[in-house]
Every structure is written in C-alpha cells, then in structure tokens.
Amino acid sequence: MTKIIRDGYHRGWMVQFTQPEGKPAVIRLGTVLKHQAEEMRGVIEGIVTSYEAETAADGRDSITLESGREDIERARLAEINTPMTTPTLSQWLDWYLRSRTDIKPQSKLHYEAAGRELIRFFGGSARIDHISSLDAETFRTWMKTVRGLAEVTVSMNCRRAKQFFRAAVNQEALAENPFEDIPCTAVANPRRLYFVTREEAKAVLEVIPNAEWRLVFALCRYGGLRCRSEATKLKWENIDWARSRLTVHGTKVQRHDGGVRQVPIFPELLPYLQAVYQQAKDPEYVFTGSRRSGKNPSSYLRYQVIRAGLKPWPRITQNLRSTRETELADDYPLHVVAAWMGHSRRVATKHYLQITESHYERAAKETRPCPSTSQLAANLPDGLTRCWAKLPEHAKTAILDLVSATPIPGTEKR
C-alpha cells in the first residue's frame, strides 16, 4: 500500500510504500502540489505492483524499482520544465524556484523573501495574468509605506519580481511583464557609510580575546575582504608568503569573472596573519574555531565593538571594507583598488568610497589664495588697461581667465 505524507524537513511531499521484500521505503518528491504528489503515488504504486507480479507495465518489459525511480525523476524534470498554463502566483513561484538549480543557497533565500512579499500583497491564489502594471506600482508603494521596508530592500524585491514575471513571459504564460517599468536599480545609502579610523580599529583589536577573530577583523579592515564569504574561508595554500599576496576566492562574484583575485598582504595585516600561523592547528584552513563555531561574524564583532567602549557603526563588516577601500583610493589608481576589492570601479564609486574629514582638511591646506581683480588688472598691458571699462562683461571674464593662469608677482609657490 502506498500513501503520500508531508515531508516537513524538506517542505514538500513524499510517497511512503512497502518494498517487495517487506521493507518500508519513501521517495521524496520535493515541493510539488498535492494533486501532483497523488499522481506520483499512483505511478509508484503501479511500479511496485508490476514488480511484485513480474508483469509488464504499459506494454513494457518487467520493471525494477530502480528503473522506476529513474522514471519518477524524469517525470519530475519534465514537470519542472513544462509549467502549467495560466498558473496562480504560488504555483508559478514554486515552479520558478525549483527550476533555478543554478542559484546559490544564500541567493535562494533572497528569492524566497521576495516571493513571500508578493504573496503577502497579491495572495497566493491570484492568477499571474491578472496582475497589471498598476498593481506592480501599488505593490512597490505598499512595501515602502505599509511594510516600512528600506529603499534597498524594496528595489531588490522588485528586481526579483521582474525576474519571476520575465520567466513567465519567456514560457509564454504571460503576454507582458507587469514589472518591466518598475524602478528596481540598486540604490546606495550614504547615511549608512561610516569611516572606521585606525584608532577605533586598534581599540577593537585590543579587546578581541582570540587571535583568529583578530585576524578576521584585520582582514576586513586592512585587507578589504568580505567577511563571511572570503575572510573566514581563507586557506593556507592561498597565502604566498614570498610575494606577500593572498589569493581570495570570492563566491559572491564567481559568476562574473571566476571570483579569484589577488590581494597584497599589507604591512598592517601581516602581524595578525603571522600570529595565527604560529599557532595553526588545521593544515588546510586558516580559521578553525571562528569558521566552525556557528557564530555570526558581524554579531560577534559588533559585541567586541561595544566591549571596546565604542558605539557600533552601521553594517559592521561592510564599513570595515569600505574604509579600507577609501584609504587605498587615496594612494593607488581606482582600477587597481577595485581589482583588489573584487568589484568594478562603478560599484566602488557608488557603494564603497567615502568623503572623510581628512579630505576637507587637506583640500583647505593645499588651496592657493585667489588673486583679487586689482591684482589681475595690474598684469594687463597698458593699452588694455585704458580701455578696460569699455569692454563687455564676457570679454572681461575671458581675459581674466587667461591672466589668472599666469603667476602674479608675490603669489608664486615657493
């Protein structure tokens, strides 16, 4: 006897049956609808029955349970690649997420979060062809006003929604994408930028009790590495001591350029790297406890910032990386800094580089005194001076611009 039961761990359905030798077994179907699970149950029951009777099924030779499993997998793949006509929103999102086997687990969480917002607003039973462009605009406004989500989150959810409905258009389940004209460009928020000074970084490093966690902090502040996906996954084979370089594998940008880049071992970073190397226990990974402890690096480092007597800044690890990139941009060409950080110059300018107080102070000290009009007029030829008052304003402006490029006596920089 076969039956379907809920698969709570995998959030789907599974078929429970008894093998011919009397042993119980289950086949997990994943996140399919209940009527689809019932159809699969019937297929499996037919396979088991034909195996027991040693008869052909559907005009074929005797079927084994193993070949039946292959048939079920093929049926599931066919169902995934052939969506239903005019599905509901829940059905379409379920199909889309199961078909995207190429996305990483963390990215899938973002897709699921955007899907939950869509279902919360439109309802899971709404047909996707009943959602209009006006509905899409209302959905964006609702996320900002009613849900109170940040502009960055709103834009990201709209970008995901545009992907969901673009796939529906490609599968000919929709005529047009209602989210096509909805603004969904990634928005920078300068209010969340914070420059972590070297004095603040030193205070935090002094209170962190573990050498590994000090290195995690230093890799973000002085190496510019992404914390969770790069710093804590560093391996000893990625360190070139002879050339003072780190080979960083960035999974976040892996689809663009392979995600592999080289970062210098800066002098500020070297002592913390050597300290961990001297007490290394794992021959493969640089980090052992900090990588496997299950701690959230951002939460742990935020706690250390508080222990140092400082007010936690927004986006603890992100601003460590932003600070380092701002420092490096003052000394190296931007294309070099962007390559070290693992993103483009456009991303660096939009999301990472900051204007600090030192920039204003240095600009004020290096500004030359502006010469007065009388000083400029003193450099004019005698004939031009006599007819100066008769000249039109645009001519005076052009002449003064030319004269200002010529050093005035007494104002040369020594």
Q: Final residue of a domain: which of 341, 361, 381? A: 361
- Give the domain extent around 282: 210-361
CATH number, residue 110: 1.10.150.130
Instruction: Answer whether residue 202 is part of any domain.
Output: no
Instruction: Answer whether residue 265 is part of any domain.
Output: yes
Number of domains, the chain: 4
CA-to-CA dists, residue 381 to 384, 399, 406, 412, angstroms: 5, 11, 13, 20
* Predicted local distance difference test score (pLDDT) of residue 41: 81
Residues 129 and 70 in one domain: no
Q: Running along the chain, 414 residues long, what does each successive block of 10 average in pLDDT?
A: 71 75 75 76 78 52 48 51 68 88 82 92 89 91 90 90 90 87 77 90 93 92 87 88 89 65 92 90 78 72 93 91 92 90 84 83 68 55 66 74 57 46
* Predicted local distance difference test score (pLDDT) of residue 405: 57
Q: Final residue of a domain: which of 81, 100, 121? A: 81
The DSSP H or E segment spanning 345 is helix 345-347
- Residue 411: what are its φ and ψ, rounded to 5°? -115, 5
Rounded to 10 deg, the angle between the 105-122 and 133-145 helix axes is 100
Residues 42 and 100 in one domain: no
CATH number, residue 297: 1.10.443.10
Residues 76 and 101 in one domain: no
* Predicted local distance difference test score (pLDDT) of residue 63: 42
Residue found under tokens 């997998």: 73
The DSSP H or E segment spanning 30 is strand 24-30
What is the per-residue burial (b if ≥16 Cβ within 10 Å, else e) of 22-54? eeeeebebbebbeebbeebbebbeebbebbeee
Are residues 64 and 82 in contact, defined by beta-carbon separation less than 8 angstroms? no
Residues 153 and 235 in one domain: no
Residues 128 and 225 in one domain: no
Instruction: Answer whether residue 24 is part of any domain.
Output: yes
Are residues 269 and 219 in contact, defined by beta-carbon separation less than 8 angstroms? yes
Residues 158 and 270 in one domain: no
- Residue 235: what are its φ and ψ, rounded to 5°? -115, 155
Tokens of 13: 């359905």
Residues 222 and 284 in one domain: yes
Digit-coded pLDDT (tens) for 235-249: 899 999 999 999 988
Residues 230 and 346 in one domain: yes
Residues 284 and 308 in one domain: yes
Residues 354 and 249 in one domain: yes
The span from the CA of 351 to the CA of 322, in Å, is 8
Q: Between the CA atoms of 276, 282, 286 and 289, what dihedral angle is there, to the nearest 10 degrees?
A: -80
Instruction: Answer whether residue 197 is part of any domain.
Output: no
Provide CB contacts within 8 A for 220, sequence distance 6+: 226, 227, 231, 317, 320, 321, 324
The span from the CA of 229 to the CA of 342, in Å, is 12
The DSSP H or E segment spanning 247 is strand 245-249
Residues 98 and 169 in one domain: yes
The span from the CA of 119 to the CA of 127, in Å, is 11
The span from the CA of 12 to the CA of 40, in Å, is 13
- Residue 13: what are its φ and ψ, rounded to 5°? -125, 155
The span from the CA of 363 to the CA of 349, in Å, is 20
Looking at this protein, which amino acid is placed at residue 25? A
Residues 382 and 337 in one domain: no
Instruction: Answer whether residue 198 is part of any domain.
Output: no
Instruction: Answer whether residue 331 is part of any domain.
Output: yes
Q: Final residue of a domain: which of 361, 387, 403? A: 361
